[in-house]
Amino acid sequence: MALKCGIVGLPNVGKSTLFNCLSNAKAQSANFPFCTIEPNVGVISVPDDRLTKLVEMCSPRSTVPATVEIVDIAGLVRGASKGEGLGNKFLANIRETDAILHVLRCFDDDNITHVDTTVDPVRDMEVINYELQIKDLETVEARIAKTEKAAKSGGDKAAKTQLAVLMQYKDALEKGLPARSVEVEGKEEQRFARELFLLTNKPVLYVCNVDDAAAVSGNDYVDRVREAIKDTGSSLLIVAAKTESEIAELDTWEERKEFLNEIGLEESGVSRLIRAAYALLDLQTYFTAGPDEVRAWTFLRGTKAPQAAGIIHTDFEKGFIRAEVIKYDDFVTFGSETAVKEAGKMAVEGKEYVVCDGDIMHFRFNV
């Protein structure tokens, strides 16, 4: 299951600096690579100490981490919904992502020009949110025009259902609220809502780009952003992109750890950002572990065992018999799969088992 996050923001807020930090970040192990697909797209491994520990214990021939795809989307400008700047291209790039990392400038620097002359992250946030909402409203109104006639004729029940959803979105967007503020009930309604691919229906993580002095606790700008988003359901992360660029240049994990300790951080903002991006869509990880391979598999919270097995191969789901499950902590405590079995700590689960984050799993199937 691939997760694609788009980095968005006004020009000169630190988007590309942050993307470059992600691309240059040297993880603890060579098993955690960064791969550039295009000049502005990268596949980045999700830092996970559990995977590192399993590799140490199993000494596998190969290791496969969970990954996140990051897209550096060109700076948006006021009027993008009407075609200003890159306009529709920018908006199309966002539409292709699963989640949005919204970078806000929360630092003062006379050497870096702001497009609106002054630093105001809340205003900047509202500019982008407005442009996305306007584009979504255009999308919704266009669908209403197509759907309304069929719904009013009385014979098309699906059209009536769709029109009700569209009117909910229209009402919210006209009030300046994002589409994700609308609670859509019913399976058919939710399916239709997903098919609209509304820009403001995507989960958002606000990334406050601060200077070195604010890297640990933030500053007044960050406090203003936190207050502005407190009722939106979105999260906030503090990152000092300039500091992260210095960390990314260091050659060894020990050097990076020492640097972080000096500025009062337990881990880099890049690592926190990657994990936050992974969690933004409520994703979790289960593992398969053995001498051939240790691998992290991404699944949506609440997934049951057969569907989790299907992530590995569709045959695993079709012929699912049972799942043999070891809790990560038990595996570490007892030291091996054999020892876990001898201690009676391996569970045998059926089709209704809901997979937990960190489970180590073996699937039995018959096709």
pLDDT tens digit at each of 367 positions of the chain: 567 888 888 888 888 888 877 766 443 333 344 454 554 788 888 889 999 999 999 999 999 999 888 888 766 656 555 554 444 566 777 888 889 999 999 999 888 877 778 899 999 999 989 988 998 999 999 999 988 888 777 667 888 889 999 999 999 999 999 999 999 988 899 999 999 999 999 999 999 999 988 988 899 999 999 999 998 888 899 999 888 888 877 777 788 788 888 878 778 888 888 888 888 888 899 999 999 999 999 999 999 999 999 999 999 999 999 999 999 999 999 999 999 999 999 999 999 999 999 999 999 999 7
Q: Which amino acid is at 173?
A: L
H helix runs in 264-327, sequence order:
269-279, 305-312, 314-318
3-state helix, strand, coil split of the chain in percent (to 5) is 45, 20, 35
Q: What is the pLDDT of residue 46?
A: 86
Q: What is the pLDDT of residue 29?
A: 34
CA dihedral of residues 181, 186, 192, 198 (deg, nearest 10): 10
Q: How far is CA 225 from the centre of its chain?
A: 20
Q: What is the pLDDT of residue 31?
A: 38
Q: Tokens representing 158?
A: 């699906």
- Indicate yes or no: pTM above 0.85: no
Q: Which amino acid is at 137?
A: L
CA distance 30 to 10: 34
Q: What is the pLDDT of residue 36?
A: 46
Residue-wise DSSP of 194-245: HHT--GGGS-EEEEEE--GGGTTT--HHHHHHHHHTTTTT-EEEEE-HHHHH
Classify residue 175 by burial, with Cβ atoms within 10 Å: 0-12, 13-18, 19+: exposed
